[in-house]
Amino acid sequence: MQFQFLGTSAGMPTLQRNVTALAVSIENQHNWYLVDCGEGTQQRMLQAGLNVLRLKTIFITHIHGDHCYGLPGLLASANMNNRQEPLTVCAPAGIEEYIRAVFQHTDVHDLRYPLHFLRSDTPDFSYMDNVIHAEAIALSHRVPSFAYRIEERLTYYPLDKNRLLDAGIPPGPAWGELQKGNSINLDDGREIHPQSVCSGSAKKRAIIVGGDNDQPSLLQAAMQRSDVLIHEATFTESVLEKIGPKYMHSTAAAVAKAAQEAGIAHLLLTHISQRYSANSNKPDNSLKALRNEAEREYEGNLLLAEDMACYQLHSDGTLTEVNKQSASGKNSKAK
């Protein structure tokens, strides 16, 4: 499972960060998925090499503009690119009405592709295709806001490379079949079962992508069934004390504490206020302040999201950064 940040800023863009959007994909699958679509997402998609014709489904967490203002343009561009395949938008109330109104007043009509809206704020919401299953978890914000837990439907076995090599199975397609749980037949007549070369039980990878939310503990149960939490950390505790709770956003400390209590392995903080930057001469407004605050509460793998950063969640639960094209056009380095 792979995900790439197309925007990591809160509220409005900066020179380094666009507003919220995240691309999600599964290995060896033709299509990909988008969670939120702030203004400027199309530019980031072009920089990332993401084809709008292969976009399967869009998930919107809530109606605020930094999470959805890019959606009408993206849908219109798909039409101009002669998209034929259906496209589904999973979103709470207001998003469909917003899109229909924009299309009506900007002369977008006669879509070449079927556009379906699926309400994610209903108790029975569940999205499923042949690749992923997504569920929505209600959060706490000024408007109805949701997190999406996205789980792969294919089951992967964590393979033991030493066992594979000892059995005389070199890297190649056979490894992929065993990882999917399929037995293989070797040229010498042996039948190899996945259980004989795996390092653990089969597991489905799952990530949580949160919308705006001032109560991270609402995701406690979902985190216990997931590998990665991607959640807003708009402020530090010191800033929240100054501005008060009226904006209903999380602090780095609050998210980290909830993640620690749930025991989730990987935490990625995003939706970062414009006041924080890597080169700030004010200690309280540095990205390091956010990181330090979170590190005091969380002992797992902590990362601060950056635009265009791409991560691979492996079948064994480890997370690595992928070498992808950066927003500046230069290759980013894997960590």
Can you give the pTM of this predicted structure? 0.88
pLDDT in tens, 299-314: 999 999 999 999 999 8
Residues 53, 82, 93, 212, Cα dihedral to 10°? 40
Average pLDDT over every residue of 186-215: 90
Q: How many CB atoms lie within 10 A of CB 39?
A: 21
pLDDT at 158: 79
Domain 2-154+204-322: CATH superfamily, name plus number: Ribonuclease Z/Hydroxyacylglutathione hydrolase-like (3.60.15.10)
**b/e string for 123-162 if b means 16 or more Cβ within 10 A?**
eebebeeebbebbbbbbebeebbbbbbbbbebebbbbbee
pLDDT at 324: 58
Average pLDDT over every residue of 55-59: 98
pLDDT in tens, 154-197: 777 778 889 999 999 999 889 888 887 889 999 899 999 988 89
Q: Does the annotation mark 121 as catalytic?
A: no
Structure-token pair, residue 21: 């959007």
Which residues belong to CATH 3.60.15.10 in the chain? 2-154+204-322
- Answer yes or no: are the C-beta atoms of 267 and 304 closer than 8 Å: no
Q: Minimal CA–CA distance to 138: which of 97, 95, 92, 88?
A: 92
Set 36, 66, 212, 214: catalytic member? 66
